[in-house]
Chain A
Amino acid sequence: NAGVTQTPKFQVLKTGQSMTLQCAQDMNHEYMSWYRQDPGMGLRLIHYSVGAGITDQGEVPNGYNVSRSTTEDFPLRLLSAAPSQTSVYFCASRRTQQDWSPLHFGNGTRLTVT
């Protein structure tokens, strides 16, 4: 099993550009989520999904969209990139919303917005 796969690993965008960060898991996990990590800020939850067709906002959802059309995929869309979105983005999944099983993280996407 590959676990949680994120692409791309690195990305540079200009202000105003849009892009999609891809996340896929092959563990049949119901719960998927996106975090951003900034120095001194820990990991902050952007959006999460408890199953296909269901998404909800986390702590810092502004400027990001998500969708969950399949169990496996949970893409994160930046609508109009801003320098404040420069960060490392992690996708994470676990079996279900309720069981508090461990989160499995992808390797991350390092995004720079100039």
Chain B
Amino acid sequence: GQQVMQIPQYQHVQEGEDFTTYCNSSTTLSNIQWYKQRPGGHPVFLIQLVKSGEVKKQKRLTFQFGEAKKNSSLHITATQTTDVGTYFCAPPAGGTSYGKLTFGQGTILTVHP
């Protein structure tokens, strides 16, 4: 079955430093979504990537989808305390099947002011 590994599990940074989390799949993905969960909150959709090699930006956040569509990354430039939370990648179960959306284990980001 599909294995999705998200690394690192934890990341502690000083405010202003950059942050990157990676999501790696054992199978080719039709698309991948990214979510953010603030402490004590619920996951909130950030973005969806569909095309091979796709790069999308949202202010200080840069999302990439690998050429082989087996990996993805989220990069935050110059972190702020508002970036604190857990970031999840969410590919479809089985790589391409409709319906089920699986989630990586998440990367917990803490930002020290």
Q: Which residues of A are interface residues toward B (Cβ below 8 A)?
A: 31, 33, 35, 40-45, 48, 50, 56, 58-59, 90, 92, 97-98, 100, 102-108
* Known A102-B45, A103-B43, A105-B43: A97·B99 in contact at CB below 8 Å: yes
- Return chain A residues, CB-CB under 8 Å to B48: 100, 102
Contact A40 B42 (CB under 8 A): no
Contact B88 A43 (CB under 8 A): yes
Contact B42 A45 (CB under 8 A): no
* Candidates B41, B44, B102, B105; contact of A40 at CB < 8 Å: B105
Q: Which residue of B lies closest to A43 (CB)?
A: B103
Cβ of B95 < 8 Å from any Cβ of A? no
Most chain A CB neighbours (cut-off 10 Å) among B9, B93, B99, B106: B99
- Return chain B residues, CB-CB under 8 Å to A50: 99
Q: How far is the CA of A43 from the CA of B103 in the complex (A)?
A: 6
Q: Which residues of B are interface residues toward A (Cβ below 8 A)?
A: 6, 9, 31, 33, 35, 41-45, 48, 88, 90, 92-93, 98-106
Q: Which residue of A lies closest to B31 (CB)?
A: A100
8 cross-chain CB contacts under 8 A: A40-B9, A41-B105, A42-B6, A42-B88, A42-B105, A92-B43, A98-B98, A102-B48
Contact B9 A90 (CB under 8 A): no
Shortest A70–chain B CB gap in Å is 19
* Known A43-B43, A90-B42: A102·B33 in contact at CB below 8 Å: yes
Contact B44 A45 (CB under 8 A): no
Shortest B46–chain A CB gap in Å is 9
Known: A92-B43, A102-B48. 13 other contacts (CB 8 A): A40-B9, A42-B88, A43-B43, A45-B102, A50-B99, A58-B100, A59-B93, A100-B92, A103-B33, A103-B43, A103-B101, A105-B44, A107-B41
